[in-house]
Structure 1
Amino acid sequence: MVKRQIESKVEGPERVRSKRASTRNVVLAETDGNARLETEVTDGTPDKLSTRDTRSQMSATDTSRTSFARHLPARVGAAQTSDAPTAAPRRSSRRSSRQLSASAAPHAEGVDVKLEKADETKTPVDEAESVDARKAEEEGAAGEMRSVRTKTEFPRRGLAPTDELSAYELERLANIARNEEVLRALELDVSSSALRESARSRPKPTARGVGRPKEKAEHGPIRRSGRHAGLEAEFAGGIVSESADGKVLTLANGDIIGSGKAAFKAANGASEAKERVVEPQLPFRSHVAKDAALEEEWAASTAADEKQTPLQRERAQSLLPEMTGAREAAEKADQAMLELLASATSPAAFRKGSGGLNEGADDGSDENGSGKASKGSKGGSDAGTVWTSGIGLSALEKVHLDESDAVKVTVKATVHLKFQPRGDTLCVAAGDKDGNVSLWHADRASDSASDGVFLCAPHTQYISGLEWSAHDAGVLYTASYDGTVRALHPQKGSWELLYSRTHSEFSAFTLSAPSETTTLWLGSSDGRLSARDTRSPSETLAPVAVHANKVNCLSMCGARPYLLASAGTDRAVRVWDVRKLGAKPKPLAEMLSSNSSQSAEWSPDGRASLLTTHWDDRLRIYDGLGLDTAPAPKAREIKHCTRTGRWVVPFRAVWTPAGDGVVVGAMDRSAVIFNASNGSKANVLRSPEIMTAIPSRNTVHPSLPVVACATNSGRLHLYRA
């Protein structure tokens, strides 16, 4: 048996149980590969020393005692006296005497290592162990200083002061320290606290604009036993009949129990539900003004309610002046917005060359390719009115997004948006899935108390289209799945009802060409097309079938005002001559795809090119449609992922005003601008920290280098040059 004795002097009355200085002899003994810990006191009194006792009695600043406590073999268990029997061999606790010496000696400062042998004969193993002990004694001081420096400069999270660091960990911490020195030299702070602070300070999506109120869960009445209360059983008189689904009951006394349309029919004895009442005019009142009016009404009613406590009435009375002031301020802001809309320059007087109208335009363009249409030799109905603009790919190369140009404009997903055609300020209209229409004045004064968002509810269902008038830039036309079409007249300050067909769902909407009188073209969810002249009380065109399923999009050609394009869920895009629509109309051209067709839009540059978006990961551009050429010309295809899935609003590609580019949303939360001629990517609009959702719907300002991107969350983002 070979023993190693380590003498460690323990000084100070506060660190040992005895008030006098004492000396302990710790012997690490190994017999047949099993190690045990023996301690002896100089006065001859045996003592047991456990790892817990040693750590509690020693100070962390005493290097010799800290090093000694660190290297107590935890696998041995509790310390035993020299008289205790040797424990049975365990494979997990086997350590050679050389390993014990190498782990204990280098970190013991001022410790004497003595070798005790059972006999006086030295073996080669003993000689090697003696050499190891001497080397450990020589390196003890340096090793201890390295250990202390490691714990001072490189503290490890979650480790006690007495835990040992391996050579790998020491090297790793040294590398970290060296890297941090380099970063400090570069004036970069990458400490954990700085990184956490950076994560906290990362800009979050702005909360300006329309907020979604938190809806409180409505709990039904508490159900109690009627039998215990002595009440008569429900339906005691008997049930005469029951519907097949069990939702409607007819009682013996004639009462109808149930809900929904089936119960409504049973109660009224009618085969069809009564048509809902549609208001002919709705006042222009924003969400801010409406909420302020409701709060004022609550305060007034609470202050006058005798059932309320005196304290509640007094508090409501004190809040009433403040709420009245808030309502008046909101109404004043609404009136200012109406005046702004009414002040828009008429499109016909729009500055030529920077975004306006060119009368008598044909399908050609000028030689410099600016997109401004020129007069052609054709006359009559072929001559149309074309929006012209110089805004093209080159003007949109350097657009970027600022945090101040992102705001929530609608409650639900934005499905349609259009810029007001004016060049003096930015105003955009957006519609959502709930029938809300929002107006955002993006270029409001910096000291304005309002965020510039005015949310109204002119409809009750999904907005199927919105268009600014080509004859009065302040008038906004909107259509909805609720079967109504309305127009916002800023001079009147109201949403006027233009057309209503409550038994139909208007799924698509567009206006006639700018050169024509204002005609409403409407597509329905059953695949039919109809038209209504705003000057006539009757329908201009009775509903005719143009698709087998829902009509998704309608677009009127500006260059040839008699051409109407329609896209449907039946995978078809068709071009119609509105002069020849009859009971069974025949399309001039038909383009089929392998999946649903989401949109079709004529180019604004007068070339009569049609841009279509399909569910088959393709954007297609058709040139020369409607020119007595059959079949339809071959399309230029642009590969782009258009499969948005169930929860994202389907993509709809739009033209740049110059007709040389195509803008469409992408699944990686960006908007892509393609070159219309060769299909290459001209620019990618991406701002991960601001635009955090997929921009399904996009539009480009007709005369300014601004792109608007709208997401499913109702947030609108303006990329400006």
Structure 2
Amino acid sequence: MAGNGRGATCLIHPGIRFLATYFGHFSSSREHHPDIKPGIGNMSDFEDEREANIARNRALLAEFDVSLDVPKTVVKEKGKAKPVQPAKKRVKRDVKPVLPVRQSTRLRRTAPDPNETPEKKRKREQEEELLRQKLEQEKLELEEHARQAKKPRHESLEMYAHLEDQDAPEVMALTSTLQETIKTANPRRVGDMKSYLYDEERHTTAVDELKEKMRKLKIVSRAKVTRERVYSAAYHPEITKDLIFFGDKHGSLGIWDARAPKEEVDEDGNAAAQDDGEGGKSWRIQLHWPSTSRSSISSIKFDPTDAHSVYTSSYDGTIRHTSFVSAISQELYHDESALPTSLDLPPHGYEMWISDTNGGVTHLDLREDKSKARWYQLSEDKIGCVSINPVFPHLFLTASNSRMLRIWDARKLQSMPVKGSGPWEINADIIEEFGETKKGKCTLRGEWKHGKSATAGYWDPHGRRIVSTSYDDTIRIWDIKPEFMTKDAEFPTSRPAHQFHHNCQTGKWVTLLRAQWSPNIDAYPHFTIGNMDRSLDIRSWKGELIVKLMDKTKITAVQAVTCSHPSIVERAASGNASGRCVLWAPESDS
């Protein structure tokens, strides 16, 4: 116990506190009653004894140095005011139809008039029955509307009717942009298998020249092209503009004219261009439905003959063809039992191969009805990627979760006998038995096993090299000689020509990394791939790092999806999980 004078903080025994309170109250009561005065005549012996006790207790309290004053209340200093936080942006969400609230007939029924006639009663009951039937019909219509909203759309769609912003200026701007792309055909160019077969000295020189060009790439434009995570991307071959298509997690196709001038209105009401690094013009079209993760656009390919239309595959089970000329999107194929993971077309453009999550690939001849489609089970696990050799279109490869990268001969598969009128499903046992026959020999031309799931594999534009990505954190590159392509024989078993370590552990919230060849046949063979350190890596076909594109001041997320221009070397684009996309190009280019 300590006391340092008046107002000091101290600990008081409960008994002493009680005495102090009691006697303090008694003494104060005497002060408020002037009729009671000290003296022998006015106090009894008991009162004298009590006064003596009070005096002793006061002396005892004084000995302990205890103050009866109430301590002052300590007022805490108020903290500093927090800075004003910016208001959170409200995201517009789709308003779901509100079903009518269920209500019993008894509550809806009006109180009957005790004096109503039988005719009025009959009329009232008829009105109540009509009201009940109307409410029930409205409920059924809303429930059916909700069910239909969750189903994929199979009808032909008018492209501009499903544009997110349907204002007249937006529609006109997109129409003008797409009309410019159909002025020239821009067919897919195919390289020569014997090109770029350099010795080591010429190879080093070519790589150095490529490095010199790629070092000039900077972020010249960026924008939030899609609402959700970017799943796929494709660079349009038009050379007069940088037009890039992105598919997102909720079935929306984002179209980004990355170098289009961004306009704003100045104080005088005139349009003035601004250049702040956030640029271009973008549009979003809801091609696949419903707008949920069940409609993710897994692959985007332009028509290889003229690039006047685009093909998209989606997890809603549909393959769509959207024409820039007619502005109509049509369904080409639909399969509810499997999710399409990728698609590819040969240079002639009249057939298509589609991989799916059931371990199969579907062959679709675009000149025939979709009922003629054939489904081949080529793996026990999901096939995440299919790629067609551009020089030898009968050879295509598949990369699957079974850890295998396999090359198939489409001519052999299509020669298999089938029964019925189609569509045909050919399971793995039938394919295996057919492969053991003389006619089916070499249906499987070659295979290579990876340490973990092979997430992707692609032929280069020269039809000679293959790059594969795997969850074992290794990028592998194969170089297959032309003489093995022409022979009707299996490819020799061999190790990859080149391989290197690359972190591919994307996890749940980042799109799988896929090494993508540059489709430019005039440039030394190279490919792009996203990096978990938030960079975009460009490497030669031998795996040498040409450049690591990154900017920590402008990029804070993994650039998982990448693509590059088919004709311009110094062009690359990337997208991340938030839907924000980046264009890499020399700052000097207009």
TM range (shorter): 0.5 to 0.7
1:124-145 alpha-carbon deviations (Å, 9 max, x no partner)? xxxxxxxxxxxxxxxxxxxxxx
Distance 1:49 1:357, change over 3 A: closer
Q: Which residue of 2 aligns with 1:594?
A: 451
**Aligned-pair distance for 1:472?**
0.4
Q: Distance in 2 between matches of 1:648 and 1:673?
A: 20
Shift of the alpha carbon at 1:464? Answer: 2.7
* Contact residue 196 and residue 524 of structure 2 kept, 8 A: no
CA distance in 2, matches of 1:429, 1:452: 12
Answering whether residue 223 of structure 2 is matched by residue 347 of structure 1, we say no
Equivalent in the alignment of 1:525: 357
Which residue of 479, 482, 492 corresponds with 1:630? 492
2:92 aligned residue (210, 213, 221): 213
The partner residue of 1:687 within 526, 529, 551 is: 551
TM-score, normalised to structure 1's length? 0.52
For residue 336 of structure 1, report the CA deviation from its aligned partner.
Answer: 1.2
Instruction: Return closer, same or farther for 1:366/1:617 CA change in 2, 3 Å cut-off.
Output: closer
Q: For each residue in 1:364-401, what CA deviation from the matched residue of structure 2 results, as whole angstroms up to 9, or x when unmatched?
A: 327699999xxxxxxxxxxxxxxxx9994442223222
In 2: Cα distance, 1:366 partner to 1:680 partner: 16
Identify the match of residue 426 of structure 1 among 231, 242, 247. 242
SS of the residue corresponding to residue 285 of structure 1 reads: helix
Whether the 8 Å CA contact 2:476–2:496 is kept in 1: the answer is no
Distance in 2 (alpha carbons) for counterparts of 1:390 and 1:537: 50
Q: Secondary structure in 2 aligned to 1:335?
A: helix
* Whole-Å separation in 1 of the counterparts to 2:85 and 2:215: 32
Alignment of 1:476-625 (within 5 A): 476-512=310-346, 514=347, 516-537=348-369, 542-582=374-414, 583=416, 584=431, 586-604=443-461, 606=462, 608-624=464-480
Counterpart of 2:125 in structure 1 is none
Partner of 2:580: 715
Secondary structure (helix, strand or coil) at the match of 1:588 reads strand
Supply the AA of the counterpart residue of 2:285. Answer: C
Q: Does 1:664 align with 2:529?
A: yes
Residues 193, 464 of structure 2: 8 Å contact kept:
no
Please, which runs of 5 or more residues in structure 2 have no aligned partner?
10-60, 67-75, 111-135, 145-150, 265-270, 272-278, 290-294, 417-430, 436-442
Q: Which residue of 2 aligns with 1:64?
A: none
Counterpart mapping for 1:7-26 below 5 A: none
Counterpart contact for 2:301–2:344, Cα < 8 Å: yes
Q: In 2, Cα distance between the equivalents of 1:707 and 1:276?
A: 33
Which string of whole-angstrom CA distances, capped at 9 and with x for unpartnered residues, describes residues 644-671 of structure 1? 1122221111124445433222223332
Cross-structure match for 1:467: 301
Alignment of 1:21-420 (within 5 A): 213-214=92-93, 278-279=154-155, 281-285=156-160, 291-292=165-166, 327-347=167-187, 357=190, 361-365=192-196, 392-402=210-220, 405-420=221-236
Match of 2:231, SS state, is strand
Q: Deviations over 1:457-512 (max 9, x none)?
A: 22222223211122102221222233332222222121233344455532220111
Amino acid at match of 2:173: A
Q: Indicate if the aligned counterparts of 1:392 and 1:661 stay in contact, CA closer than 8 A.
A: no
Q: Provide, for residues 192-223 of structure 1, a one-character-per-residue CA deviation record: whole Å limited to 9, x for no partner.
A: 99xx99x999xxxxx9xxx9634568887768
Q: Deviations over 1:618-656 (max 9, x none)?
A: 111111175453214435222111111122221111124
- 2:560 corresponds to 1:696: yes
SS state at 1:340 partner: helix
Distance 1:561 1:363 in 2: 17
CA contact 1:644–1:650 (8 Å) conserved in 2 = yes
Contact 1:393-1:661 at 8 Å conserved across structures:
no
Classify 1:469/1:394 alpha carbon distance in 2 versus 1 (closer, same or farther; 3 Å): farther
Larger RCO (CA within 8 A; separation ≥ 6):
2
Q: CA deviation at 1:421?
A: 0.8
C-alpha distance after superposition, 1:244-284 (max 9, x if no partner): xxxxxxxxxxx9xxx9xxx99xxxxxxxxxx97721x3212
- In 1, Cα distance between the equivalents of 2:104 and 2:325? 61
In 2 relative to 1, CA 333–49 (structure 1 residues): closer, same or farther, beyond 3 Å? closer
Letter in 2 for 1:698: T
Distance 2:299 2:247 in 1: 8
TM-score (norm 2): 0.63
CA 661–366 in structure 1, closer or farther in 2 if over 3 Å, else same: closer
- Cα distance between partner residues in 1 of 2:451 and 2:249: 27
2:391 and 2:208 mapped to 1: Cα distance? Answer: 17
Instruction: Kindly state the Cα deviation for residue 612 of structure 1 after the two structures are TM-superposed.
Output: 0.5
C-alpha contact (below 8 Å) 1:590/1:632 kept by paired residues: no
Specify the alignment match of 1:75 in structure 2: none
Q: 1:645 aligns with which of 488, 502, 507?
A: 507
Which SS does the other structure have where 1:581 is aligned? helix
Task: Give the residue type in structure 1 aligned to 2:464.
Answer: A
In 2, the alpha carbon distance for the partners of 1:276 and 1:672 equals 37
Paired amino acid for 1:620:
R
Q: SS of the counterpart of 1:338? A: helix
Task: Measure the CA separation in 1 of the matches of 2:288 and 2:474.
Answer: 33
Give the superposed CA RMSD.
Answer: 4.5
Amino acid at match of 2:154: V
Residue in 1 aligned with 2:49? none
Looking at structure 2, the residues matched to 607 and 217 of structure 1 have their Cα atoms a distance apart, in angstroms, of 50
Larger radius of gyration: 1
Q: Distance in 2 between matches of 1:631 and 1:484?
A: 37
* Alpha-carbon separation, structure 2, partners of 1:213 and 1:588: 52
> What is the match of residue 257 of structure 2?
441
Counterparts in 2 of 1:532 and 1:477: CA distance versus 1, 3 Å: same
- Amino acid in the other structure paired with 2:215: E
State the distance in 1 between where 2:181 and 2:397 align. 30
User: Match for 1:549: what amino acid?
Assistant: D
The one-character-per-residue Cα deviations of 1:553-597 (angstroms, maximum 9, x if unpaired) are 111122333321111122211111222225425321111123211
Q: How many pairs does the alignment contain? A: 435
Residues 1:491 and 1:607: Cα distance change in structure 2 (over 3 Å)? closer
The Cα of 1:540 is off from its aligned counterpart by 6.9
User: How far is 1:338 from its partner?
Assistant: 2.7
C-alpha distance in structure 2 between counterparts of 1:371 and 1:541, whole Å: 47
Residue 570 (structure 2) pairs with residue 705 (structure 1): yes
Which segments of 5 or more consecutive residues in structure 1 lack a partner in the other structure?
A: 1-33, 38-47, 52-83, 90-157, 161-191, 202-206, 232-254, 265-274, 293-326, 349-355, 373-388
Q: Is residue 446–residue 493 contact of structure 2 (8 Å, CA) maintained in 1?
A: yes
Distance 2:208 2:237 in 1: 14
CA 226–570 in structure 1, closer or farther in 2 if over 3 Å, else same: farther
Q: Distance in 2 between matches of 1:370 and 1:559?
A: 27
Report deviation, 1:229. 9.3
Q: Once the 2 structures are TM-superposed, how far is the Cα of residue 697 of structure 1 from its aligned partner?
A: 0.9
